[in-house]
Copies of this chain bind each other. A is one copy, B any other.
């Protein structure tokens, strides 16, 4: 009972996107649009040029039901998205005195003078709804019209993430409702400790059983996320299908599941530690703090994370973690034995119920025939039990070895918690 999904197209405006700035809006908006039932059929990044933006908007509006534009709504001469969009639609821009008052009020709060050029931010395309911006002075705009016998939407959003994201989240439900062909329900399951190809193969029968649903599998930094969107005539039917898919997914790959929706591996582990009343610390050699940085990226991590040691030099391993010089002499710093000793030492060092340790050769230098670049040992100790270790051989450049080592260490922590 599935219907052809509505199509969305993204247009990102800003010469900086063609000069070295990474475009993170594209990924963020794509995930949300897909979860809301849209098929994202393309993205274009364009410089601050009226003719180029106008041409791209015309093409996008001909191909897609909803076109989302980010950037170019600021006050300066090179913010020309308003003009380009009005021209693409053959409509006029009008100055809205009431909107200007709202913008002035905002500036007054910050006790700053308002440059005259900011008046451009109060110009609105005829027929557009103004989308209020609580975090900045540039409001968004939303246009609804029909073309080619179909409902179309054009959404203009400011460029900064802190302004763009709340405006988009506020408008998305209405956008989805307008373009829904039937109803949609979505699911994201995050996996760790399983290669993408293995997850892919195990999930193949799930996909085959639900030909009307759409699926994406994404691998990044040693973790895998699986997205499903079900479509049906009614919301209840879509929810029913996604519940079935969820059960099948968990039956196929549930042993590697670390969370659903936006939850990260470190966030899910933190919640489990907190619930169990356990505390955690780290001892990091080749990752140099990367694992601690990931764990503390979780808001509220101080409830379960105590800290630890960046034991880069061997002297720090022996003095702070009690790794015996004889152990280092015999097995080397990159060894199972050293990883185990680091985890035991860290647990005492930071008075924690559990500890994770990582030691390895991130490269590009430092590899030998016996221990090539990418050789990594991770260990987990506690709670109330001796440490266990895992040996890894990770391919790729320095940053990939380090990020996958951190993920592998978190997977070992998860498996230790699973076995409690």
Complex contact A307–B310 (CB within 8 A): yes
- Please report which residues of chain A, range 152-168, place their CB below 8 angstroms from some CB of chain B when the two chains form the complex: 162
Q: How far is the CB of A206 from chain B (nearest CB, A)?
A: 17
Complex contact A20–B30 (CB within 8 A): yes
Once bound together, how far apart are the Cα atoms of A31 and B20, in whole Å? 5
Nearest CB in chain B to that of A41: its residue: B47
A289-B284 contact, Cβ under 8 Å, with A19-B30, A43-B45, A162-B396: yes
Q: Mark A214-239, 1 if CB is under 8 A from B, else 0.
A: 00101010000101000000000000
Chain A interface bracket (under 10, 10 to 19, 20 to 34, 35 or more): 35 or more
Interface SS majority for chain A: mixed
Nearest CB in chain B to that of A26: its residue: B23
Complex contact A302–B312 (CB within 8 A): yes
Complex contact B42–A42 (CB within 8 A): no
On chain B, the residues within 8 Å of A302 by CB distance are: 312-313, 366
Complex contact A297–B396 (CB within 8 A): no
On chain B, the residues within 8 Å of A396 by CB distance are: 162
Complex contact B19–A40 (CB within 8 A): yes
Q: Which of A10-18, A169-177, A376-384 contacts B (4 or more CB under 8 A)?
A: A10-18
Does A398 touch B at the CB level, under 8 Å?
A: yes
Does A24 touch B at the CB level, under 8 Å?
A: yes
Contact of A42 among B18, B216, B398 (CB under 8 A): B18
Which A residues lie at the B interface, using CB under 8 A?
15-24, 26-27, 30-31, 34, 40-47, 52, 56, 162, 216, 218, 220, 225, 227, 281-282, 284-293, 295-297, 299-302, 305-313, 315-316, 319-320, 349-351, 362-366, 396-399, 402
